[in-house]
Structure 1
Amino acid sequence: MAKTVLVVDDSPSVRKMVQMTLAAAGYDIIEAEDGQDAFEKATSTHVDAVLTDQNMPRLDGLSFIRKFRATPQSVGVPVVFLSTESDAALKAQAKDAGATGWMVKPFDQNQILAVVKKMVGA
């Protein structure tokens, strides 16, 4: 059975690039346009991993992670930031909130595939 990855980004083009890369490798993809949309999807559908942007309307990446980590659905689900931000203080906040890792955009397709494979063990 394919692993499901939730891709969260307010940019449709970024979501599409990630979706195409991961779908071609056999992953099932759920897309969310911001943290609030992601929270609703992540708590109503099983996901094996989450890739999230930071700067989004309605609910940013950090707030999404904090809210998601407060639910039983988040147990064992790795969450990786996929962001243009690379500030050390923000990375520390993300780790404290429950992020598993951090990738800086723009990303290399092989890099994102390797990270997702490592996260979900597939």
Structure 2
Amino acid sequence: MGYRSKIRSQLIFTVTAASQGNLEELKEIHYAVAKRQLELRSNHLESKFPKIKTSHDSKETDLEKCRQLYLKEIESKESLRNELNKTKETLAETNTELLLQKQQSRSSLSTFNPKPGDNL
């Protein structure tokens, strides 16, 4: 092998080694960048968590208030329905009593009031 050939082989070896080194360095840089991006993304999401948690808790509280109001409304409706039914029953009883009194009044009037012309 000649001198030129040796230099050429050595140059190829050096370029190949440098390329290999650059490739490894690029891989490490890429890995470091990807890792940093993940860290930043994770930190960003973690910083949003308290706000989301607070919002969620607030909505849960509002939902519970709505549930309680709904239950109260159901109880009120039931109470009003029962009161209305009792009032209807009382009204029906009163109407029945009035009808009976009216009939009794008519029958007692007919026995006490003789027909005109019957007084002879």
Considering the TM-score relative to the shorter chain, is it more than 0.5?
A: no
Normalization by structure 1: what TM-score? 0.14
Higher relative contact order (CA 8 A, sep 6+): 1
Which structure has the larger Rg over C-alpha atoms? 2
Query: TM-score scaled by structure 2?
Result: 0.14
Structure with a larger share of its residues in strand: 1
